[in-house]
């Protein structure tokens, strides 16, 4: 399943990125919501 693989990979990178830079992740999550 291509979709399932893409979701798994994106989730894996999200968790790894969140673990390495939690402050940066929060900023990048809130910025687009405020801009749009």
Helix (H) or strand (E) holding 20: helix 2-20
pLDDT score for 28: 62
pLDDT score for 34: 53
Count CA atoms within 13 Å of residue 14 on its CB side. Answer: 9
The domain segmentation of the chain, as residue ranges, is 2-35
10 Å Cβ neighbour count for 35? 6
Q: Nearest 5°: CA angle at 33, between 22 and 5?
A: 65
Question: If pLDDT is split at 50, 70 and 90, which confidence band does 35 have?
Answer: low
pLDDT score for 13: 83
Distance in angstroms (rounded) separating the CA atoms of residues 11 and 15: 6
Asked if 18 and 25 count as a contact pair (C-beta separation under 8 A), the reply is yes
pLDDT score for 24: 60
pLDDT score for 5: 81
Each residue's pLDDT tens digit, 9-34: 888 888 877 776 656 656 666 555 55
């Amino acid at each position: 399943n291509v979709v399932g693989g893409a979701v798994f990979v994106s989730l894996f990178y999200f968790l790894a990125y969140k673990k390495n830079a939690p402050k940066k992740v929060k900023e990048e999550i809130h910025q687009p919501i405020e801009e749009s």
